[in-house]
Structure 1
């Protein structure tokens, strides 16, 4: 397995040009960018910022970002009937028979890829639609050709908020070689999986962790601010900053790289199969998107085997739709709170909430050293995942139930007595919220 530890020097660039879009969005909404405390603001380029922008009840961040992806990558992305960004012309098929594929080819479809994934009892086929056929029509066509088959679009899942990373003019992206061994000893038996962007494995807060990274897109692992922040909240330690499970081994599935179609459902399914091979009993997925048949089946398979999947509910406001994978049965859905233990006003509606955790007014690791301020449900989720992982050693349904029960008994009951739709089983890991002013935000290692 890939063990990414060696990061080249140089600054970061944001995957899919998120910087320009996020800054435009902030300007339009009049938002305040959360900047590192105590760091000077150069005239040409402010310091790196992770921003999960507050949104009103009617603001649809995913919709805006989907449209932005489509405008910039129309050759790769199209918008489906739901208004979601999906991979252009791709139809996903689960367990398609040889006869179904014969009919598909006769109708002008081509088989782009077949993944046999015994770890999750799933065979995933990616079909290319006939040239010029809208993807929804292509799905309808395949369902008509094979009524008993399972077909769907290939939507793109996005980080649960907007990520911004500044860099010096002309700097190149920092890459993590896909197969570089760690020289640092692991000091914790805890194992955690994550599906996200790549992680800066040289950050001092992760010095005690062993990190195995694998890219699921072409070009190798790409370090991102979002992935690095999430990893530090899972396993980081650099006093006074502490993640939920300091020193844990992390298995990082980089679902994005530099590809405009990174984060697709097909990639997430393959990443889950790899993490099942790794055996990490708890997996954090700080991404949100629409319901999808292949992803739902992969999630069900993981839950049946006793894996704990943890995911945020999103940041599109209480009037938003429910987002996945958090809304799938069996997934631990996490909502964010601020320093006053109030649900963030921008947190999305969800079919269910299991736990709440800090998601604002706090620090997380930044690529190339130091810390940044973070906000949003993306950063509440790893605090819950890390807390659960400390009481699980292997994936097992009984161990899963015990871990959830234990964390529920440790949680602070907020809102209505008992389990409620706003705070779930209660607030956890509030003591792990590190004030940005308490850590170095200068960018030094």
Structure 2
């Protein structure tokens, strides 16, 4: 198995996960030089196609992440500085059902960026995966989550460009860092991938907010899983960022998934409960907002072939016009504007 990044993870005072002792910064070379001069340890730096440099920094010995971030903001007041938060896949349940039959795939008519785990390209139709990039290791590593998300997108008519952003936390669980997700977003921007699906959930993060804003300003459309924390959970990110379409999950009867997040940030609902997905000769039943998001993103990708602020707004209006209003009249905190089923 190819090597991936391994993160030591801790919880902050709000219970959000982050990499121990790390801060990330988007700024200029002079900001990094000031940080190095003040005792911060440069772990990695990458020039961003969308502007500036993103850098992972280790906090000086004995300094907390909070104090280190405050120190960096004083040293580099124009830079964006935050903890290197950890994100997990927005999956709730996957099970195998013998004898089940998945729906026939739709004709491929759009291109969708998928920021997730690596995918099993052999399980997808020929020419369905246009690119497969590793952002947290030497090579992409196929995992079930990304493979299911990509399979649903392909079944709904999208070819995919996949960014594998997942490494592992020290307990062996899959984990993606804010810095790696930001790098993948920058790659999508540079390669003009118009619609991007992110079936990942975690905390608010200023650098991810910045990268989402950069993408939206350029006319990219970003679709994200609303999260599986339950009706009273805090908003999940990146779905709750401005400029992102947040997708919740419903079952075949139109009832909301009982573990799906709710809130004013929800935009659309799509099938995400016991969804049949053909993978490697078996049919898996996938549940979670992770698996609802690619239904919406694939539909959007069919109508947005290149980044365009004007056209992306038209696509959102088209989706709203086609949505089935399932809850209170108009937009609501459970279903958003309503459901799109295919």
Fold agreement, TM-score > 0.5 = yes
Distance in structure 1 (CA, Å) of the matches to 2:8 and 2:48:
25
Match of 1:87 among 7, 10, 19: 19
Residues 80 and 135, structure 1, Cα contact 8 Å, conserved in 2: no
Distance in structure 2 (CA, Å) of the matches to 1:121 and 1:269:
12
Question: Gapped runs of 5+ residues in structure 1?
Answer: 1-11, 17-72, 167-186, 236-242, 433-445
Match of 2:244 among 331, 334, 342: 331
More divergent stretch after superposition (77-86 vs 214-223): 77-86
Distance in structure 2 (CA, Å) of the matches to 1:141 and 1:411:
48
1:303-328 per-position Cα deviation (integer Å, ceiling 9, x unaligned): 01111100011011111111111101
Distance in structure 2 (CA, Å) of the matches to 1:346 and 1:259:
24
What's 1:225 paired with? Answer: 144
Larger Rg: 1
1:105-153 per-position Cα deviation (integer Å, ceiling 9, x unaligned): 23321222222112x2342122111134332222122234444442110
Cα deviation for residue 83 of structure 1 reads 1.6
What's 2:203 paired with? Answer: 290
Higher relative strand content: 2
Residues 121 and 301, structure 1, Cα contact 8 Å, conserved in 2: no
Distance 1:293 1:383, change over 3 A: same
2:254 pairs with 1:341: yes
Which residues of 2 match residues 234-383 of structure 1 at below 5 A? Answer: 234-235=153-154, 243-245=155-157, 248-257=158-167, 262-366=175-279, 368-383=280-295
Distance in structure 2 (CA, Å) of the matches to 1:253 and 1:124:
18
What's 1:113 paired with? Answer: 44
Residues 217 and 262, structure 1, Cα contact 8 Å, conserved in 2: no
Distance 1:278 1:149, change over 3 A: closer
Distance in structure 2 (CA, Å) of the matches to 1:114 and 1:76:
19
Distance 1:323 1:234, change over 3 A: same
Match of 1:413 among 305, 325, 334: 325
What's 2:84 paired with? Answer: 154
What's 1:142 paired with? Answer: 72
Which residues of 2 match residues 421-436 of structure 1 at below 5 A? Answer: 421-429=333-341, 432=342
State TM-score, norm by structure 2: 0.88
What stretches of structure 1 move > 3 A for 4+ residues in a row? 100-103, 144-149, 162-166, 257-262
* SS of residue matched to 1:392: coil
Question: Gapped runs of 5+ residues in structure 2?
Answer: 97-106
Distance in structure 1 (CA, Å) of the matches to 2:77 and 2:187:
30
Residues 272 and 289, structure 2, Cα contact 8 Å, conserved in 1: yes
State TM-score, norm by structure 1: 0.69
Cα deviation for residue 350 of structure 1 reads 3.3
What's 1:396 paired with? Answer: 308
2:28 pairs with 1:101: no
Residues 96 and 125, structure 1, Cα contact 8 Å, conserved in 2: no
1:358-404 per-position Cα deviation (integer Å, ceiling 9, x unaligned): 110221243x4322111110000000000111111111111111111
Distance in structure 1 (CA, Å) of the matches to 2:256 and 2:94:
24
1:155-180 per-position Cα deviation (integer Å, ceiling 9, x unaligned): 011101357799xxxxxxxxxxxxxx
Distance in structure 2 (CA, Å) of the matches to 1:101 and 1:317:
40
1:34-77 per-position Cα deviation (integer Å, ceiling 9, x unaligned): xxxxxxxxxxxxxxxxxxxxxxxxxxxxxxxxxxxxxxx8x722
1:14-53 per-position Cα deviation (integer Å, ceiling 9, x unaligned): x99xxxxxxxxxxxxxxxxxxxxxxxxxxxxxxxxxxxxx
**RMSD between aligned residues:** 2.5
Aligned residues: 328
Distance in structure 1 (CA, Å) of the matches to 2:183 and 2:32:
21
Distance in structure 1 (CA, Å) of the matches to 2:310 and 2:208:
24
